[in-house]
Structure 1
C-alpha cells in the first residue's frame, strides 16, 4: 500500500500544564503527541492511547460527537506520522460528516481546513490534489468559516488561521497580520487559546515588519508536530 506524508492540524485539544494533566483525557493525549513529543515512536504511542480512549467512550456513548472527533483526529495524526493514505482519507470522511452535521461548529470547520492545508504543506499542492483530493480553496474557505464562527470567543481560531495562511502563502502578509492581531485581542479562555495567542504574538513580529518569508518559516515551527523531524 502506498504511503504518503499526510498532515492534519492538531489544534483542538486542551493544552495542559503537566504530564499528569495530559493523561486526563483523549484530547490531552493528542495534545501531548502534537506539542510535546520529540520522537515519532513516543507520539504514536500517545496517539494510539488517545484513539483507544475515544473508542471506549464511543462504546459507552455511541455516536458521541466529541469522541467521534477525537478518534478521527487520532487517525489523522497517525496518517501524518506513518504516511498512510487510507488513514488520511478515513479521517477526512469523518471531518466532512461532522462539518455537514453541524455547519456552525467552528471546531469541525478548523479540522477540515487543517486536513486540506496540512496535506498540501506535507506532500505539495499537485500530489495532495491528485492523490488525496486536497484543495487549498476548500481549506481556506473552511478556515474562514471557523474564524467567523468562533473567532470572537476564542483566540485559537484567528491564531491558527494566521499561522496556516502565512505558511501556505508567504505573500499573504496583510491577511495573516489581520488574523494574528485579532488573535492577540481575542479571549484566551482555554489553555490552548493562551498557547495560540502567544504564538500569534510571536508571528506578529515578522508580519509587522512585512517579512512574509520569515513569518512563513516561523509558522511551521509554531504549528503542531514541529518538534518531530
Structure 2
C-alpha cells in the first residue's frame, strides 16, 4: 500500500508533458513531436510544434517537405490555442510558424500578418523577451532579404527597429543564448562590416546555460560563428552566418 501510494504521488508530481519536456530538453525532435502530440494538452502540443519547426528549419533540404512540416507545426499550435486561447507561448510560436511559411513562399501578406501578431503580443506582454527578439529578427530578416528600400516600402521593416527590438530583448533576458546568436547572425546577414559587433554579441556565450535543446542548438551555432569571427575573416563569417540560418539547406 505504501509503495503504491508513493508511486501515485510521483505520478501526480510529474508534469503532464514530462516525456515531451525530456525529449525537447535533449534535442530529440522526433520524440518531442511524438510525445507532445500523444500527451495532447497545450504544453505538449506547443513542444511538438516547436520540435517540428526545428526539424523543418534545421534538418530539411526539400522545400515542399519543409512547408508540410511547418503546416503540421501550425496545426499543433492551433490545437494548443483551442485548448488555451490566452496561451502566449502558443500565440508566439504560431506567429513564428507563419514567419517560416512566409520565408519559404516569399509571401508579403503573410509577412505583414507575422509583424501584426508579434506587435499584438508585445502590446499585451511588453516584458516578453522572446517576442521582442522575434520582432527584431523580422525587421532585420526582411531588410537582409530584399534590401532597405523594398523592405521599408513593402513591409515597413527598418534596421532601426531591428536594433531597438533586439536591444529590448537583451535587456529583458541578457543570458539567453538564442537571442544573442540570432542577433549576431542577423547583423552579419545584413553586412559583413558588422563583424566586430557580432563578435561582441557572442562574447561569453560559452558560459551561458542552455536550458533546452533549441537553446543548445543555437549555442552551438553561436560558438561555431564566434570561432570564424575570431579568425578575422568577415566575409567567411557572413557566409557562416547565412549557412546557420533556418532553411539554409533548401536551395
- Choose which of 187, 208, 212 in structure 2 pairs with 1:190: 212
1:54/1:226 Cα in 2 relative to 1: closer, same or farther (>3 Å)? same
Structure 1 equivalent of residue 32 of structure 2: 21
Is contact 1:79-1:85 (8 Å) kept?
A: yes
Q: Map residues 1-229 of structure 1 onto 2, 5 A cutoff.
A: 16-23=27-34, 24=36, 25-152=48-175, 154-229=176-251
Q: CA deviation at 1:14?
A: 7.1
1:98/1:18 Cα in 2 relative to 1: closer, same or farther (>3 Å)? closer
Is contact 2:29-2:54 (8 Å) kept?
A: no
Q: TM-score, normalised by structure 1?
A: 0.88
Structure 1 equivalent of residue 10 of structure 2: none
Pair member with larger Rg: 2
1:108/1:30 Cα in 2 relative to 1: closer, same or farther (>3 Å)? same
Structure 1: runs of 5 or more not aligned: 1-12
Aligned positions, number? 216
Structure 2: runs of 5 or more not aligned: 1-23, 37-47
Q: Greater relative contact order: 1 or 2 (C-alpha under 8 angstroms, separation 6 or more)? A: 1
Q: TM-score, normalised by structure 2?
A: 0.80
More helix by share: 2
Q: CA deviation at 1:224?
A: 1.0
Is contact 2:139-2:162 (8 Å) kept?
A: yes
RMSD: 1.7
Structure 1 equivalent of residue 12 of structure 2: none
Is contact 1:15-1:191 (8 Å) kept?
A: yes
Moved over 6 A (4+): none
**CA distance in 1: counterparts of 2:26 and 2:145, whole angstroms:** 24
